[in-house]
Structure 1
Amino acid sequence: MIEVLRRLKRPVLSVMAPAYVVAGVLHFVVPELYVRIVPPVLPAPLALVYLSGLAEIAVGIGLLLPRTRRYAAWATVALLVVVFPANVYMATHGVVEGMPGGGDPSDLVRWGRLPLQGVLVLLALWYTRPTGTE
């Protein structure tokens, strides 16, 4: 089982890192979608969207580079924790109308993002440890 996980580590990284870069870029392409899920208690929603977009791009690039991978993985964990309130707000308030392609995500999708965040944290933690093959 350990060997299987070891073999999966690089392919997972080759999907995960670019996915963070793409997600970060989307913060600049369609910022209004992300502004809608910033909890109203937080100030300057647009600035927070741009800042989190930059952070996602940075961790994605950092994960790709062996020299920065561990730091970027820890930064990814921190980023996921920091943006979790937005996912909770989205799940509890259903505020994502106008998604590309139309429609509002179902309750299942909105609530399903919450445990997915835990999985993403675990994946990021996986890259905080050296494997000896990097």
Structure 2
Amino acid sequence: MRTPHSPLARLKQPLLYLMGPIYVGAGLLHFVYPHAYAQIIPPFLPQPLALVYLSGVAEVALGVGVLLPRTRRIAAWGLVALLLAIFPANIYMATSDVVIQGGPDWLGDPSDVVRWGRLPFQVVFVLWAWWYTRPLPDDAE
């Protein structure tokens, strides 16, 4: 007999198919607008362009990996680690006056509300990824 699932638990599978493509799409944007993303890498980090490409590869790979039952848990842990690793870029974007050039208009000069609003959303994204470090009921162990 199956135990009843909470409404949130019933959303776990459908939200997975939203999360994976979001990371794949975000990762691909690192290759479309690499110089724009490099501008929000904090100055104390070396090789900003290389870090943009590396994080783009990681987002694409982990976004695909989280969709596959066999790699889901490790990819979810990878997303947690990636989100923590890119947090300094979000802090730098919030605390600096950088105007991002060479990217799409929506990326250029976000308001202070958007710059600071991104920070608490990182917690939401970390928790969302962490949720998939636990197996889905239909996952093979």
Q: 1:113 aligns with which of 113, 118, 125?
A: 118
1:73 touches 1:124 (CA, 8 Å); kept in 2? Answer: yes
Q: 2:46 aligns with which of 36, 43, 52?
A: 43
Q: Offset at 1:111?
A: 0.5
1:94 touches 1:110 (CA, 8 Å); kept in 2? Answer: no
How many pairs were matched up? 134
Q: 1:88 aligns with which of 84, 87, 91?
A: 91
TM-score normalised by L of structure 2: 0.90
Q: Offset at 1:2?
A: 4.7
1:37 touches 1:96 (CA, 8 Å); kept in 2? Answer: no
Does residue 74 in structure 1 map to residue 55 in structure 2?
Answer: no
Q: 2:28 aligns with which of 16, 25, 34?
A: 25
2:13 touches 2:136 (CA, 8 Å); kept in 1? Answer: no
Does residue 129 in structure 1 map to residue 134 in structure 2?
Answer: yes
Q: Percent identity, aligned pairs only?
A: 63
1:55-74 equivalent positions in 2, closer than 5 A: 55-74=58-77
Unaligned runs of 5+ in 1: none
**Structure with the bigger percentage of helix:** 1
TM-score normalised by L of structure 1: 0.94
Q: Offset at 1:97?
A: 3.0
Cα distance in 2 for residues equivalent to 1:110 and 1:78: 21
Runs of 4+ in structure 1 off by over 2 angstroms are 96-99
Larger gyration radius, structure 1 or structure 2 = 2
- Please tell me the residue identity of whatever aligns with 1:11: P
Partner SS for 1:90: helix
Cα distance in 2 for residues equivalent to 1:7 and 1:94: 42
